[in-house]
């Protein structure tokens, strides 16, 4: 597989260091006829770069690091595939069919994004590879981070000629287990390394409810209507318009909350979210089969390594399609996130870019 010349520096710097297994990271760049690129790394099945042809330049719209050492140092999960359970599990505990489980904790006594040695740190194997798609595979043993069952997973990234990147998740497990994959890409459609924050992006989310949380992101149990709050993105507005307006936002230092998507937009084909760059040159539409999305505005991004220094807080936003945080501990909610023996976990999320 060849890669465009404008990515040569990234390939050189990212493969300079060694991973925990003593081998360098492997990078794979998907390209299309329009000139878009999406570069993936086997460590964490990570989306480390996304360039779009704007004004005869290659605009980088995904935040990332320059070296593997920096990637291993950063604490923001930049672009990584997150699992077994994305977002949070209260106290690292859940019960399935009367059996209580304790999994590894890594944030304020809770489990965040799969635990301290989650899938974002693993080397995924490449099952298939072409100029337009790559399939990463991972096997997770019974008891990995405390989770039950042997889990086998694949994540497929596919780039189309109309500038859409689709991420397809597929997994099975031989014991009932909470499973909730997401990709943790941070976007700045104005340019990831331009130094501007993300608050001037215009955002739409087709959701009429969000999930209030405590100070460390654990859901309080009740959903809340977005109408009349700063969480109402049902009609387009800038991220900054109602930024820090609500008590819930102030507690989290910005948006870091799950939105319950309207069932009418979770077929994987209908636009569920849309973001527009401040210069209106790039529109990113998001389609998904997941029931919810976590909007995170990089509230604690500050100090994490960038490609040219360090990022500041709010320099990128995430749209993490997912099951709701702590869902296994809320049986009263729909969208239960338990993968049972004999079932397959299959979900898609597509990021469709349109250039003006």
Tokens of 335: 């969208």
Catalytic, out of 60, 248, 320, 322: 320
Q: Is 256 a known ligand-binding residue?
A: yes
The answer for residues whose C-beta is within 8 angstroms of residue 57's C-beta and 6 or more apart is none
Q: Is 190 a known ligand-binding residue?
A: no
CB atoms within 10 A of CB 9: 11
Catalytic, out of 113, 133, 184, 347: 184
Whole-number Cα distances in Å, 178 to 135, 155, 182, 223: 23, 17, 13, 21
Instruction: Specify whether 320 is catalytic.
Output: yes
Whole-number Cα distances in Å, 138 to 26, 212, 321: 15, 33, 20
Rounded Cα distance, 334 and 29, in Å: 38
Q: Tell me if 128 sits within 8 A of 137, measured CB to CB.
A: no
Q: Is 110 a known ligand-binding residue?
A: no
Q: Is 169 a known ligand-binding residue?
A: no
Rounded Cα distance, 197 and 74, in Å: 19
Q: Is 131 a known ligand-binding residue?
A: no
Going by the DSSP 8-state scheme, the letter that residue 76 receives in this structure is S
Q: Is 56 a known ligand-binding residue?
A: no
Residue 297 backbone phi and psi in degrees, to 5? -100, 25
State the DSSP H helix or E strand holding residue 293, giving kind and residue range, or none if neither. Answer: strand 292-296
Question: Taking Cα atoms as reference points, which of 316, 322, 282, 290 lies closest to residue 302?
Answer: 316
Instruction: Specify whether 113 is catalytic.
Output: no
Peptide bond connecting 244 to the previous residue in cis, omega within 30 degrees of 0:
no
What is the length of the chain? 356
Residues annotated catalytic, as ranges: 184, 320
Binding-site sequence positions for beta-D-galactose:
87-88, 184-186, 256
Binding-site sequence positions:
87-88, 184-186, 256
């Amino acid at each position: 597989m060849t890669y465009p010349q404008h990515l040569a520096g990234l390939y050189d710097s990212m493969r300079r260091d060694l991973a925990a297994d003593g081998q360098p990271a492997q990078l794979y760049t998907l390209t299309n006829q329009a000139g878009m690129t999406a570069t993936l790394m086997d460590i964490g099945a990570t989306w480390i770069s996304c360039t779009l042809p704007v004004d005869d330049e290659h605009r980088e719209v995904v935040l990332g690091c320059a070296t593997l050492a920096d990637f291993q140092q950063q604490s923001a999960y930049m672009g990584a595939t997150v699992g077994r359970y994305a977002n949070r599990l209260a106290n690292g505990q859940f019960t399935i069919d009367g059996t209580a489980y304790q999994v590894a904790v890594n944030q304020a006594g809770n489990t965040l994004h799969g635990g301290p040695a989650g899938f974002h740190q693993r080397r995924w194997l490449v099952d298939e590879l072409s100029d337009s798609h790559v399939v990463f595979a991972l096997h997770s043993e019974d008891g990995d981070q405390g989770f039950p069952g042997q889990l086998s997973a694949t994540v497929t990234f596919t780039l189309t000629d109309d500038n859409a990147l689709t991420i397809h998740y597929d997994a099975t497990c031989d014991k009932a287990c909470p499973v909730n994959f997401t990709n943790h890409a941070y976007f700045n459609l104005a340019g990831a390394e331009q130094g501007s924050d993300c608050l001037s992006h215009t955002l739409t989310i087709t959701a009429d409810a969000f999930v209030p949380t405590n100070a460390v992101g654990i859901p309080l149990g009740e959903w809340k209507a977005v109408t009349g709050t700063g969480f109402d993105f049902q009609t387009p507005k800038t991220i900054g318009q109602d930024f820090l307006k609500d008590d819930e936002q102030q507690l989290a230092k910005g948006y870091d909350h799950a939105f319950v998507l309207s069932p009418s937009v979770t077929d994987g084909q209908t636009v569920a979210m849309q973001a527009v760059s401040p210069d209106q040159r790039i529109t990113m539409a998001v389609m998904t089969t997941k029931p919810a999305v976590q909007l995170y505005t990089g509230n604690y991004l500050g100090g994490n390594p960038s490609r040219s220094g360090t990022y500041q807080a709010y320099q990128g936003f995430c749209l993490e399609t997912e099951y709701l945080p702590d869902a296994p501990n809320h049986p009263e909610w729909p969208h239960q996130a338990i993968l049972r023996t004999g079932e397959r976990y299959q979900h898609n999320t597509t990021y469709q870019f349109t250039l003006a």
